[in-house]
Amino acid sequence: MTSDLAPFFSPAGVAIIGASTNPRKLSYGILENLTAYGYQGGVYPVNPNADEILGLKCYPQVGDVPDPVELAVVVLPASMTPEVLRACGERGIKAVIIISGGFREVGASGARLEKECLQIVKSYQMRLIGPNCVGTVDLHTGLDTTFIKGLPDKGSIGFLSQSGAVLGGVVDYIIDKHVGFSHFASLGNELDVDESDMIAFFGADPKVKVIAAYVEGIQDGQKFIRIASEVSKHKPIVLLKAGRTEAGAQAVSSHTGSLAGAYAAYQAAFEQAGIIEVEDLPSLFDVAWALSCQPLPNGNKAAIFTNAGGPAALASDALAANGFELASISAEKQALLAEKLNPAAQVANPVDMLGGAEADEFAHCLSTLSDDPGVDILMPMLVPQSLVNPADIAKAIVDHTQGVGKTVLACMVGEQSIKEARAVLHANQIPLAIFPETPGKVLGAMAGYREWVSKGQSGTFEFSAEYRENAARYLSGLNADVLGEAETRPLLASYGMDLIPGGFAENAARAAEIAAEIGFPVALKIVSPQVLHKSDSGGIRLGLDSAEAVEIAAEKMKIRILAAIPDAEVKGFLVEKMAPEGLEVIVGMRRDPTFGPLMMFGLGGIYVELFKDVGFGVAPLNQNQARDMIEKTKAGRLLKGFRGGPAYDMESVIDAIGRLSQIALDFPVISEIEVNPLLVLPEGEGAKILDARAILINQRDEEK
């Protein structure tokens, strides 16, 4: 439900608990803002030591506040919060914002205080934003519960931030840029309302066209993916993630674990949910603003017309880097362009009208190219100079792009002389960039979102419930935390995965018997919990072509392993049929603490960590998402048949990803599992598991 968040933005009345008469206090600033922007509901300061503040009657306690009141804003020391929350609950208030700090950000005592507050909130069925936040704003209702000075223009971008400082800085930066916002929400410690709840609320609000978000962490990864995936289908979400580096990440023993760091999980989740991730704050609002006021590009052909060649070259480079190209302008169109431009102008693309180009020349270019079916994006560019008024250029752009049905992104390289031009363009829903690289980045983001929406999210994997039952019986009989290939093979087989023929032998003689049974040549592998990567330790022999060769190789292998690792426990040997020719890939899973099962695909064998050419996805996956994991890698290109090479059975890889992800979903006790290599055979012939391993969560450690 999103309706229970409505009082944070459009309450019938607001109580300010801890309102101060001191103009230097934050609560005084909040009270000022609540009366400054046209909010029509009741505003009730709560202060037992004052009669009125800013002409508003004060009330001794929240229980004395008259109806209607739906929202309480608390600005009191953290230690007083439980008592205040109980009073709000008794008063019947269902929405509370705690501005105050002093909670879990200060340590264990603050965390305990938060836990107490959450119990109170739940007992009264209230919703809470914060603590340690700066409040909420609705530019359509005029509600402003923050202490931030000033507000930007009213529009359709809903912005949520886990950092109050970032929100305050953004407001100050954007306030004179004429970029329109609908809501602001500072979430603070997210004790109750989190980023997913706010995305759901903005997704359901018709006043919000685009959601912009600054996040440092996701509270519940699976909830986030579920909600964001639904919202993204009809409303773009542009997100800036802080804390992307992985310095100091804990090393783990599997390839999947070492490659699938924390940020990899975030990236996979964002891609899967249709999130448009950006790298910095300027990009967050450049992209959000363009999405809020311009149509998505129909194609990737752009036309640049400019009064300066250098910025056009930079813009062209940025277009190419983001999957766009300069449209080819026909000879007929070039002749039309030349009719009203300087005789020395360049009428190919970019169209360089030279430094003295005026408003009528910009108008001429726009009117000539706006109906060209080979042009998807119009990009007028200006470097201001003393003879031309940028505002006149802006008016010409507005007059000749209304209703053309193309994406229009303007650029004026500068700052001081373009303020009036920006106001004209932004008032008419045309984004203005001040750097020539910006439109290319914005278009890349818009195109990525367009592709995600058009692709759809179909192709659900469906597997028999019998798989889980069989695997559960097998796992219940194990008494180990690390499963080598011998122990992992039965688990994978229980889910219908195709294993290379083979078997486990307790000794060299039995290894020779199994080899004779499955047929030569065979591979021989050591089975020992202390030997994690067999090829690095001399624990594997290939191409053995007789029972005698197998028995001798097994005896020598055991001696070699014990010499290198004296305390190794050699349980026996795996004997497997030698594999046919194919492409070796890796399919793995590492359980991420935020998002759960993080699936990985890449080039297999011993080179996976060297090349680090991997794709990630978060289970549950559908078939399209599994295909995306594959196709974003170079290994995926090899599967399709690179430069005339053979095409391999990609559908079998997709199936393997699906089955492995289902194992991960069915058994949270599995911390990591990987198949490496998975041998992919020519198209239509399937794929076979050549090696595998798994790590279980140590139940004894979990109990501690």
Same domain, 553 and 603: no
Taking residues 129-135, what's their average pLDDT?
95
Residues 307, 199 share a domain: no
The answer to whether 54 and 81 are in contact (CB under 8 A) is no
How far apart are alpha carbons 441 and 410 in whole angstroms? 13
Collect all residues with Cβ–Cβ distance below 8 Å to 508 and sequence separation of at least 6.
Answer: 550, 551, 552, 554, 555, 558, 573
- Burial (0-12, 13-18, 19+ Cβ within 10 Å), 625: buried
- Which of 168, 189, 379, 186 is CA-nearest to residue 281? 168
Q: Is the pLDDT of residue 2 over 80?
A: no
Q: Is 215 helix (H, G, I), strand (E, B) or coil?
A: strand
Do 165 and 28 lie in one domain? The reply is yes
Which residues constitute the domain of residue 535? 501-577
Mean pLDDT of 82-105: 95
Same domain? 571 vs 659: no
Which is more confident, 661 or 703? 661
Structural tokens at position 278? 């950006």
In a domain, 474, yes or no: no
444 and 554 housed in the same domain: no
- Contact, 17 vs 26, CB < 8 A? no
Last residue of a domain, one of 208, 227, 261: 208
Please indicate, yes or no, whether residues 625 and 684 belong to a single structural domain of this protein. Answer: yes
Give the pair of three-digit tokens for residue 300. Answer: 């990737």
- Asked whether residue 245 is assigned to any structural domain, the reply reads no
Number of domain units in the chain: 4
For residue 276, pLDDT over 70 is answered with yes
Q: Which of 143-147, 267-271, 500-504, 535-539 has the lowest mean pLDDT?
A: 535-539
Which CATH number goes with the domain that contains 360? Answer: 3.40.50.261
**Residue 254 has what pLDDT?**
40
**441: three-class secondary structure by DSSP:** helix
Residue 676 in this model has a pLDDT that exceeds 70: yes
Share of the chain above pLDDT 90, in %: 85
Tell me if 229 is assigned to some domain. no
The domain boundary residue, chosen from 545, 560, 577: 577
338 occurs within a structural domain: yes
Over residues 41-49, mean pLDDT: 96
Q: What is d(CA 201, CA 606) in angstroms, rounded to the nearest whole number?
A: 47
pLDDT of residue 283: 96
What is the full DSSP assignment across 64-100?
GPPSP--EEEE-S-GGGHHHHHHHHHHHT--EEEE--
What is the rounded CA–CA span in Å between residue 496 and residue 369? 58
Digit-coded pLDDT (tens) for 352-397? 999 999 999 999 999 999 999 999 999 999 999 988 999 999 999 9
Percentage with pLDDT > 70 across the chain: 95
Asked if 144 and 64 sit in the same domain, the reply is yes
What is the full DSSP assignment across 507-574? SHHHHHHHHHHH-SSEEEEEE-TT-SSGGGTT-EEEEE-SHHHHHHHHHHHHHHHHHHSTT----EEE
What phi-psi label fits residue 394: left (phi over 0), alpha (psi between -120 and 50 degrees) or beta? alpha
Query: What CATH number has the domain bearing residue 641?
Result: 3.30.470.20
User: Is residue 553 domain-shared with residue 592, that is, in the same domain?
Assistant: no
Radius of gyration of the chain (CA): 31
Burial grade of 578 (CB within 10 A; 0-12, 13-18, 19 or more): middle
* Closest to 275 in 3D by CA, of 241, 320, 326, 303: 241
Burial class (CB in 10 A: 0-12, 13-18, 19+), 682: middle
Mean pLDDT computed over 4-25? 96
Residue 79 has pLDDT above 80, yes or no: yes
| Confidence category of residue 107, pLDDT binned at 50, 70, 90 | confident
SS3 label, residue 144: strand
pLDDT digits (tens, 9 = 90+) for 333-354: 999 999 999 999 999 999 999 9
Question: Is 415 or 203 the better-scoring residue by pLDDT?
Answer: 203
Same domain, residue pair 71 and 196: yes
β-strand partners of 575: 503, 524
For residues 582 and 682, the answer to whether their CB atoms sit within 8 Å is: yes
- Per-residue model confidence as pLDDT tens digits over 580-631: 999 999 999 999 999 999 999 998 866 666 667 899 999 999 999 999 999 9
Same domain, 95 and 183: yes
- How much is the pLDDT for 606? 63
Mean pLDDT of 499-516: 95
Has residue 652 been placed in a domain? yes
* Residue 62 within a domain: yes
**Comparing C-alpha atoms, which of 373, 306, 362, 379 is closest to residue 333?**
373
Distance (Å, whole) CA 71 – CA 65: 11
474-491 pLDDT, tens digit each: 999 888 888 989 999 999
Residue 457 has pLDDT above 80, yes or no: no
- For all residues of the chain together, what is the average pLDDT? 92
Q: Are 689 and 500 in contact (CB under 8 A)?
A: yes
Residues 323 and 190 in one domain: no
Tokens of 547: 């029972």
Q: Which residue has the higher pLDDT, 545 or 605?
A: 545
Residue 246 lies in a domain: no
618 in the same domain as 697: yes
632-663: per-residue pLDDT in tens? 999 999 999 988 789 999 999 999 999 999 99
Boundary of a domain, candidates 158, 191, 208: 208
Give 63's pLDDT tier (boundaries 50, 70, 90): very high
